[in-house]
Structure 1
């Protein structure tokens, strides 16, 4: 067995597929340019590491269930106000994920909030974060089935593997009390530990249509608003500060306490 054949065999044994495919060309290049042994080894290992990174991204992108045509490159940033043109790329850097913060996109159907959320998710996957994009009604159904099978805790642990969960169209979830309870459990479980990105066509004052109970509504808003970036997509495409949302949340809490009393 020649030295080259032995190297190829060792690459297969050690499961170094990128190094195996690049071995012949890289060694030829090293010979032509007079590389040192250190430089040759460094190049081969860097190629293998990059190959593994790309395969990991491809695997995570598939697991994310992100829509394939909703990327930042396909989003028309020019139609946004200047502040949002700067904010969306900033969110794509992932700092809010490291801080376990949330992002909320509000707006009427067709204003671009779901595209923006998916685009941020896509860029985060490219950086190595694990992301799940899921319609809220589908997540609720998944959690409810797990609860009925006494597997809710295990399902929450599965979801916890994702550093970011994108809940699309939370406003369309207006079902039973039991379904809303599992949604609240999910949000409470991730509070200050993992990030959520939420899109909604309902403003906070209408979230009692989702969570039914005013106390639950106030508690849910408290968990998603705290440490959050809130963006409103409307006719003027303006952004809304978290302080405004927090003020509305406090009003809901006051109302809930009055009703409870």
Structure 2
């Protein structure tokens, strides 16, 4: 075996060891994109004549992009948002004109920075849940922590924490979300304990964190939720003080779809071979 061949093999072995060591160090530093792509980008850098700063910048941008993607995936999984109620599936042409105008700014998330609330009112089937869910999805894409939860389940969660003497801890946990979407607040049972924990939650987030609420009950009917006039007024005051109101009017989406299906079902069917 020639001295040249021996030297080449030794160099290749040393380079391989260096690559393994580098990969270990990058994983220890929690830089998985660096570890996965540094060799591929190094070859490209050699072919295209990149400078060292340019090569490093490409790696950093790739790491940040993949890290952001993983974070959004985690946020979306923890949000409880329905995967099919997004902005892409929202039939915006059926929304009232004012709501359509408000939607882009809400999706940007500025209201969260101002600790404002969003209240969506309308009769059943008007798209309230879809609208706030679509906003929630857009907020997650911008890195905000969002929780979607039906009002009934939120109250049950708070009641369970209270009975276990853990209400304060549960409120702190919920406080970690930039926005909590409370769906169908009008369907809470008429129970004083339920009213108290819901009021406590709303009061705790007042002027600090945002809530998005859907309701088929207008404010004048909220005494059905909070029982007495004083608590109802206090709750409304806290929710409305810094709030954007979406009024979902028009026909019921569900009724329209049911009518469409009925029309299709009643349509005469042609026999095979008919023109």
Describe the SS at the equivalent of 2:213.
Answer: strand
| Cα offset, 1:236, TM superposition | 7.3
Q: Does 1:8 align with 2:6?
A: no
Describe the SS at the equivalent of 1:110.
Answer: coil
Report the equivalent of 1:112.
127
Of 193, 199, 204 in structure 1, the residue corresponding to residue 214 of structure 2 is 199
Give the stretch that moved more between structures: 43-52 or 19-28: 19-28
| Cα offset, 1:56, TM superposition | 0.8
Describe the SS at the equivalent of 2:108.
Answer: coil
- The CA distance in 2 between the partners of 1:66 and 1:32, in whole Å, is 45
Tell me the alpha carbon deviations over residues 195-247 of structure 1, each in whole angstroms, 9 at most, x when there is no partner: 0000001111111111111111111000110110001111179xxxxxxxxxx
TM-score for the superposition, normalised by structure 2: 0.83
Q: Structure 2 regions of 5+ residues with no counterpart?
A: 1-13, 253-275
Q: Does 1:155 align with 2:170?
A: yes
Of 151, 160, 163 in structure 2, the residue corresponding to residue 136 of structure 1 is 151
Tell me the alpha carbon deviations over residues 172-215 of structure 1, each in whole angstroms, 9 at most, x when there is no partner: 00231011100000000000000000000111111111111111
Describe the SS at the equivalent of 2:81.
Answer: coil
Does the 8 Å contact 2:96/2:248 carry over to 1?
A: no
| Cα offset, 1:24, TM superposition | 2.3
List 4+ stretches of structure 1 deviating above 4 A.
none
Report the equivalent of 1:165.
180
Describe the SS at the equivalent of 1:92.
Answer: helix
Of 24, 40, 47 in structure 1, the residue corresponding to residue 55 of structure 2 is 40
Report the equivalent of 1:220.
235
CA RMSD of aligned residues (A): 1.3
| Cα offset, 1:123, TM superposition | 0.5
- The CA distance in 1 between the partners of 2:198 and 2:216, in whole Å, is 17
- The CA distance in 1 between the partners of 2:41 and 2:85, in whole Å, is 37
Does the 8 Å contact 2:185/2:213 carry over to 1?
A: yes
| Cα offset, 1:81, TM superposition | 3.4
Report the equivalent of 1:74.
89
| Cα offset, 1:82, TM superposition | 3.3
TM-score for the superposition, normalised by structure 1: 0.88
- The CA distance in 1 between the partners of 2:120 and 2:98, in whole Å, is 15
For the pair shown, the structure with the greater C-alpha radius of gyration is: 2
- The CA distance in 1 between the partners of 2:120 and 2:170, in whole Å, is 26
Count of matched residue pairs: 237
- The CA distance in 1 between the partners of 2:37 and 2:44, in whole Å, is 11
- The CA distance in 2 between the partners of 1:192 and 1:128, in whole Å, is 21
